[in-house]
Structure 1
Amino acid sequence: MATAFSALGLSEPVVKALDELGFEQPTPIQQKSIPFLLDGRDLLAQAQTGTGKTAAFGLPLVDRSDPQDARVQALVLAPTRELAVQVCEAIHTYSKHSGVRVLPIYGGQPIDRQMRRLRAGAQIVVGTPGRVLDLMRRSSLDLTALRTLVLDEADQMLDMGFIEEVQTILDAAPPERQLVFFSATLPASIRKLAARHLRTPMTLTMPAEERDTPAIAQRVYFVNFKNRAQALTRVLAAEDPASALIFTRTKQAADELAEQLQDDGHRAEALHGDLNQSAREAVLGRFRRQQLNVVVATDVAARGLDIADLSHVINYDLPQDGESYIHRIGRTGRAGRSGVAISFALPTDRYRLRLIERATGSTLVPAKIPSAGEIQVRRTERLVEQLRRQLQADESDPNLVLYREVVGQLREEFDLGDIAATFLKLAQQRPGSTGSG
């Protein structure tokens, strides 16, 4: 439950949204910064991706916004449009029950469309410095009602050459505004900017924790949206997972993907919030009893899910941030066992991948979608290994006498190698056999 967040001073609608998202305990930076930001104080925070910093500033933004006032009350500046979209998506989920509207603005999207949306009203705007400044100069983005201005990834913003745009935006904000800087590092340029604009700020330093996932092989497949489903089919055929948990972003996607996997011959079911508690427990029971080998789940439905010997975690949709990624893949490779974490990345996901790698301190190894020939080679390798283990286990099995007699009879008519190859062919064709799907 998200009751721990209510102790930080957050309102009931925000806490309700966090509960539905599966948030249980605030991270250290959230514990320290949320009460402070709710009081309207300025903040300079050094925080890496994966520490929960988006919620640390996003939750107070929602709580401090008045949904009855259609004017812009909070502005978040992000260095890239990918980060702007990601932060906007996160804040939107926090505001589900608050009635607060969140709008992303960035280059590469028609500016007239963004101007119309601003006229329609939004309490929180998340944008890149160039597009924000452009809309301000066109008198479409009015900051007169601004209460809070946040710089996210401030060091990267300055490294990318946005110092003049950021200065102009800061100077245009009302004098009685709250100013919040979040930065992975605190170089001289950031400290100088903070000294000029922040008023008696609290300073937090929250370096990322060491992440240790040595038993988990992490791979990423770069795909397009239209061929992602086919790519998953090929990867599953090559991997032949004993038990796989596949994550999607939405309930509809989970249902559709589970149905597709069933059509492909997998024992798969969906797990999401539209299922009642007894239905969810039934799915998990079948998964634990190995009656299913694939469960397609959303993050909320999978919270608290603990499956022994889970061999694969697959991110069909990349998670929102590094912390969510770590939480997902940590379900495999437990107790000294090995595990596999596979991610599918769309062309728009490259920035999100960098955030994940920064959070984990590791590199996701790019992999190539296996061809039909490579899939067959891997199936054969698994079959050979399975036969080798069975032969070693059955050396003294008395039940083999009958089978040896059958082979002996066939040897009078056929070559021994042909007999073995034919048996293997028949075994491969049996439903549920290794390599069938």
Structure 2
Amino acid sequence: MTLSFKDLGISEALVQHLEAIGFVSPTAIQSQAIPHLLASRDVLGQAQTGTGKTAAFSLPILERLDPNNPAVQALVLTPTRELALQVCQSIRSFNNDNRIRVVPIYGGQAIDRQLQRLQQAAQIVVGTPGRVLDLLSRGDLKLAQVNWLVLDEADEMLNMGFIDDVEKILSQAPAERQTAFFSATMPLTVRRLVNRFLKSPITVTIEQPKAAPNRINQVAYLVPRGWTKIKALQPILELEDPESALIFVRTRRTAAELTNQLQAAGHSVDEYHGDLSQVQRERLLLRLRQRQVRWVVATDIAARGIHVEDLSHVINFDLPDSLENYVHRIGRTGRAGKEGTAISLIQPLERRKLRDIERHVRQSLEVRSIPTRTQVEARYLEKLQGELREALAGERMASFLPIVSQLGEEYDPHAIAAAALQMVYDKTRPNWTQADYYPEESSATRDSQAPKPKPVKRSKTSASRNS
């Protein structure tokens, strides 16, 4: 039996609002966490990004806080400013009471503007540890009436060195409060924090690694010896042609180098890492959501705040340091029951890491060789054929029929269509002349894999006309 939000204890008014914005059935983390949070229990939730954690903790808060009290009643801590903004936007979308205000506070933005928002009224504050602690020390943020405190992405927050700040904030919050920690993994540092600050918590665990492979096609490309990964990635991107993709790298320097290479090759791509200013990050996120840029090259920490609907591909240019991070990365595609593709570039010395990944996700990854030029060209022709079918089903085609009719007095219609396709192909195909990007292939292989032109069949009408 599928539970509804009403079954979990959410009020009818809020349920109706959720249904209006498309939230009908709760996810696993929501089904398990919401009843305990509504019952005033502390909760320790282990779940990956994309499982619905934000709604799991924000819906109980929205149900129980006092909209007539302008004081801060709930504090949500996140590791990055991007995630703070995302959580804030999500809570605002869930909120059905215009008296409730949600305010984000984070570094990289003028503090006076955030102070003004806090002074106007803010029942829910979502912020990063550094800025929260700064405002607390100045006396501009008061936690005296905080009843709920949430630590989101707890493992990443501690990995980024915020443990001292987090402990200070938790220590300053009222002892009589409800606390929830959500984390993708449960390292010892998180466990110690739980033992110190949570009271008899209910543990909720969602096993993401078992679910991800069902909807994510995981593929590994073996980088030939002597090749750089940047050289190997180019034909892979030409073959896969991702509609939208996150390309994960280990360092900021690699992000910049790879972005420059891909931009020089004519791809729609930009970089996202810690060296960018807040304004630059927000501008890039907006372009990504509006599909003005197709691919983003990002480091792990910076990418925590990137969440894109219908992301088609995740590409591990560099393998992550931990198996948990691998699952976290690929979990950004294939969401909401949709299919996605996860690609990893594997160098010969990384085969052992590949075996560890396969054991962790309980699935063998298909290992492929770098695509040849012939394979990529055949894929492009297949795509061109699909676009042609769409054009044949459209209405604009009618405006070109007189041209075809006129040319038909001199040429066979099949030849006219083939010539038009050749023009489109020559103007839009990838740069096949860059042979260095493709593995060597024999002439026999090229001949066997090359698309064979179909014989031109002349209609009886055209045959009789030209005879």
TM-score with structure 1 setting the length: 0.56
Distance 2:8 2:159 in 1: 34
What is the distance in 1 between the residues matched to 2:25 and 2:131? 36
- Aligned counterpart, 1:425: 419
Shift of 1:55: 1.1
Query: How far is 1:78 from its partner?
Result: 0.5
Amino acid across the alignment from 1:85: L
Residue in structure 1 matched with residue 217 of structure 2 by the alignment: 214
Specify whether residues 342 and 97 from structure 1 end up closer, same or farther in structure 2 by C-alpha distance, changes over 3 A only: farther
The residue number in structure 1 matching 2:123 is 123
Cα distance change of structure 1 residues 424 and 410 upon mapping to structure 2, 3 Å threshold:
closer
Residue 214 of structure 1 aligns to a residue whose secondary structure is strand
Matched with 2:368 is none
Code of the residue aligned with 2:113 in structure 1: it is R
- Cα gap change, 1:78/1:428 in structure 2, threshold over 3 Å: closer, same or farther? same
In 2, are the aligned partners of 1:102 and 1:122 still within 8 Å (CA)?
yes
The match for 1:389 is: none
Aligned to 1:87: 87
1:96 Cα deviation after fit: 3.5
Conserved? CA contact 1:50–1:321, under 8 Å: no
The amino acid that maps onto 2:217 is P
- 8 A Cα contact 1:49 1:321, kept in partner: no
The offset of 1:13, in angstroms, is 3.3
The one-letter amino acid paired with 2:62 is V
Matching residue of 1:274: none
Q: 5+ residue gaps in structure 2?
A: 220-239, 248-262, 269-284, 297-303, 315-325, 335-340, 346-372, 386-406, 430-467
Shift of 1:16: 2.4
What residue is the counterpart of 1:46 in the other structure? Answer: 46
Q: Give 1:162 deviation, angstroms.
A: 0.9
Between the aligned partners of 1:70 and 1:184, the Cα distance in structure 2 is: 33
Q: For residue 357 of structure 1, what is the amino acid of its counterpart? A: I
Cα contact 1:16–1:97 (8 A) shared by 2: no
Maintained 8 Å contact 2:44/2:202: yes
Amino acid at match of 2:330: E
2:70 counterpart SS class: coil
Partner of 2:381: 382
Q: Would you say the 8 A contact 1:13–1:97 is kept in 2? A: no
Q: CA deviation at 1:321?
A: 9.1
What is the CA-CA distance between 1:359 and the residue it aligns to?
4.5
Cα distance change, pair 321–15 in 1 and its aligned pair in 2 (3 A): farther
Where do residues 287-436 of structure 1 align in structure 2 (5 Å cutoff)? Answer: 325=309, 328=310, 341=312, 357-360=330-333, 363=342, 382=381, 424-426=418-420
TM-score, L = length of structure 2: 0.53
Q: Deviations over 1:65-124 (max 9, x none)?
A: 211111100000001111111111111111144632111100000011111110000110
**2:7 and 2:411 mapped to 1: Cα distance?**
77
Report if the CA contact (8 A) 2:59-2:94 is conserved. Answer: yes
Taking a change above 3 Å as real, the CA distance of residues 129 and 385 of structure 1, as seen in their structure-2 partners, is: closer
CA-CA distance at 1:385 after TM superposition? 8.5
Aligned partner of 2:202: which letter? M
Deviation, structure 1 residue 44: 1.4
CA 1:69/1:360 → structure 2, altered by over 3 Å: closer, same or farther?
Answer: same
Aligned length: 295
- Give the Cα–Cα distance (whole angstroms) in 2 for the partners of residues 27 and 11 of structure 1: 18
Change beyond 3 A, Cα 1:186–1:221: closer
Equivalent position SS for 2:25: coil
Q: Which amino acid aligns with 2:118?
A: L
Query: Structure 1 residues 20, 424: CA separation in 2 closer, same or farther (over 3 Å shift)?
Result: same
Paired with 2:94 and 2:384, the residues of 1 have a C-alpha distance of: 50
Q: Measured at CA, do residues 211 and 384 of structure 1 come closer, stay the same or move farther in structure 2, by a change above 3 Å?
A: closer
Deviation at 1:210, TM superposition (A): 2.7
Structure 1 residues 426 and 82, CA gap change in structure 2 (3 angstroms): closer
Between the two proteins, what is the percent identity of the paired residues?
43
Amino acid at match of 1:104: P
Q: 1:384 to 1:146 in 2, by over 3 A?
A: closer
1:18 partnered with 2:18: yes
Check the 8 A contact 2:3/2:31 in 1, yes or no.
no
SS of alignment partner, residue 5 of structure 1: coil
Structure 1 gap segments, 5+ residues each: 223-230, 237-248, 261-313, 330-340, 344-352, 367-373, 387-405, 412-418
1:77 correspondence with 2:77: yes
Partners of 1:197 and 1:166 lie apart in 2 by 11
How far is 1:421 from its partner?
Answer: 7.4
**Equivalent residue number for residue 102 of structure 1:** 102
Shift of 1:214: 2.2
Give the corresponding residue for 1:371: none
Shift of 1:59: 1.1
User: Any conservation in 2 of the 1:78–1:151 contact (CA below 8 Å)?
Assistant: yes
1:280-336: CA deviations, max 9, x gaps? Answer: xxxxxxxxxxxxxxxxxxxxxxxxxxxxxxxxxx899xxx999984xx46xxxxxxx
Matched position secondary structure for 2:176: coil
Question: Which residue type is aligned with residue 160 of structure 1?
Answer: M
**Contact 2:30 2:53 (8 Å CA) reproduced:** yes
Tell me, yes or no, if the aligned pair for 2:313 and 2:342 is still in contact at 8 Å.
no
* Equivalent position amino acid for 1:206 in 2: I
Secondary structure, counterpart of 2:5 in structure 1: helix
Match of 1:228 in 2: none
SS in 2 for 1:180: strand
